[in-house]
């Protein structure tokens, strides 16, 4: 249970005097209640997105670990990305799906705080990781002979760890900054999740400091990583153009196309949410945008990488064939 204390200013001495005490233990989600006829359809779509995301990313992690040919920096980062996507989608969609099945639309304060933190942490970590994956592609294509030396195991672990630490730290700063503010006794969140912008609208005090913190973090995690991605791919394109063989150009382009597609999907939706003009404020649009970057993008990631990558296709087929043989052997033994 969390206590919000409201204040007013004295007319002469300008002192802060306690006037009212509001105790809020639960928040209420409006979700998609404005579209009662579409709620079941949205639930089914979100359930399918969640199951596909979890299954697809688990398969991608499994083949990256089990197939020795995929023990490379690229697939190490892909495994991290898949693990991120599983947690990201779970933190955003699982409570909504559970509430729909249970027939309720509430969440405790501690649950809301945890959901806000984990969603921000996973999303922020993905912002950093995607930009550093672009650097990995730059080294692989522009400096192929030095690639094993530059992107050695120690460097890869440091890059992944740095992404996680950055994402978790910035999420902690944003979450604490918002949750220490006073609410106006309103516990209704016009969203399907404890999205930080939706919760911030419940605050009745001055939010300029928190908004400035969020703006700084958003700039650090969105435009700056995108700039690194653009610079990396600028060098990559110039190197691909100089490749004489058609097969070499095709392989280099195929290697980068999947990552670039994921980058455009993720950064595009995130930018439209967190760096849009203040005049453009539609909570309903925000809900559907949150479904895109919280459910659709993580679902598409393993599909995009597997469809564009022959190595992943071969590894998946080997894994499925191995499991089929094991199942056949067990059935024969029984």
- The pLDDT-based confidence of 8 (bands split at 50, 70, 90) is very low
Count CB-CB contacts under 10 A for residue 325. Answer: 10
Q: Residue 84 contacts by C-beta under 8 Å, 6 or more apart in sequence?
A: 122, 125, 126, 129
In terms of DSSP H, where are the helices of the chain? 39-66, 73-102, 109-142, 147-150, 153-179, 196-200, 208-221, 223-242, 246-274, 283-291, 297-307, 310-333
In the chain, % of residues over pLDDT 90: 22
Find the radius of gyration of the CA atoms of the chain. 23
For residue 68, give the DSSP letter. Answer: G
Residue 182 carries which DSSP code?
Answer: P
Find, among 84, 85, 112, 116, the residue nearest to 99 by Cα: 112
What's the CA gap between 116 and 172, in Å, rounded? 10
CA-to-CA distance for 272 and 270, rounded, in angstroms? 5
State residue 7's pLDDT score. Answer: 32
Taking all residues of the chain, what is their mean pLDDT, rounded to a whole number? Answer: 80
Model confidence at 143: pLDDT above 60 = yes
Judged on CB neighbours under 10 Å (0-12, 13-18, 19+), 111 is middle
| 59 touches 302 (CB < 8 A) | yes
Q: What is the mean pLDDT of residues 211-240?
A: 89
Most confident of 28-32, 121-125, 191-195, 235-239: 121-125
CA distance linking residue 18 with residue 237, whole number of Å = 62
103: left (phi over 0), alpha (psi -120 to 50) or beta: left
What SS3 class is residue 328?
helix
Average pLDDT of span 216-244: 87
User: Rounded CA gap, 174 and 207, in Å?
Assistant: 12
- Whole-number pLDDT of residue 32: 78
Q: Give 212's pLDDT tier (boundaries 50, 70, 90).
A: very high
pLDDT confidence of 83, banded at 50, 70, 90? very high
Assign residue 27 a region (left: φ > 0; alpha: ψ between -120 and 50; beta: otherwise): beta
Is the Cβ–Cβ distance between 257 and 308 less than 8 Å?
Answer: yes
Q: Which residues of 184-209 are buried (b: 16+ CB within 10 A; e: fewer)?
A: eeebebbbbbbbbbbbbebbeeeeee
What pLDDT band is residue 76 in, cutting at 50, 70 and 90?
Answer: very high
| Residue carrying structure tokens 């969203």 | 191
Give residue 327's pLDDT. 54
d(CA 47, CA 299): 11
Share of the chain above pLDDT 70, in %: 82
Q: Is 245 left (phi over 0), alpha (psi -120 to 50) or beta?
A: beta
Enumerate residues 6+ apart whose C-beta is below 8 A from 329. none
* The model's pTM: 0.81
Q: Distance between CA atoms of 45 and 167, rounded to whole angstroms?
A: 28
Measured distance CA(317)–CA(291) in Å, rounded: 31
Q: What is the mean pLDDT of residues 53-82?
A: 88
């Amino acid at each position: 249970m969390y206590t919000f204390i409201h204040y007013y200013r004295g007319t002469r001495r300008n002192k802060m005097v306690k006037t009212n005490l509001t105790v809020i233990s639960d928040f209420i989600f409006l979700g998609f209640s404005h579209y009662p006829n579409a709620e079941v359809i949205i639930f089914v779509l979100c359930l399918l997105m969640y199951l596909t995301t979890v299954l697809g990313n688990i398969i991608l992690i499994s083949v990256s670990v089990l197939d020795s040919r995929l023990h490379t920096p690229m697939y190490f980062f892909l495994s991290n990305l898949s693990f991120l996507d599983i947690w990201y989608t779970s933190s955003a969609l699982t409570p909504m799906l559970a509430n729909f099945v249970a027939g309720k639309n509430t969440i405790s304060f501690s649950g809301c705080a945890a959901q806000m933190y984990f969603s921000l942490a996973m999303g922020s970590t993905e912002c950093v990781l995607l930009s550093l994956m672009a650097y990995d592609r730059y080294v692989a294509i522009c400096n192929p002979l030095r690639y094993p030396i530059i992107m050695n195991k120690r460097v890869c672990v440091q890059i992944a760890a740095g992404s996680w630490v950055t994402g978790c730290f910035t999420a902690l700063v944003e979450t604490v900054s918002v949750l220490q503010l006073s609410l106006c006794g309103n516990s209704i969140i016009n969203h399907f999740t404890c999205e930080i912008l939706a919760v911030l609208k419940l605050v009745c005090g001055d939010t300029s400091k928190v908004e400035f913190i969020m703006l700084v973090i958003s700039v650090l995690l969105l435009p700056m990583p995108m700039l690194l991605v653009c610079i990396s791919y600028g060098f990559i394109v110039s190197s691909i153009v100089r490749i004489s063989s058609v097969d070499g150009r095709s392989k280099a382009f195929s290697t980068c196309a999947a990552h670039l597609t994921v980058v455009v999907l993720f950064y595009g939706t995130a930018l439209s949410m967190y760096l849009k003009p203040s005049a453009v404020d539609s909570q309903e649009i925000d809900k559907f945008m949150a479904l895109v970057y919280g459910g659709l993008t993580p679902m598409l990631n393993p599909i995009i990488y597997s469809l564009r990558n022959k190595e992943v296709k071969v590894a998946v087929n080997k894994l499925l064939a191995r499991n089929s043989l094991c199942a056949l052997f067990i059935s024969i033994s029984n």
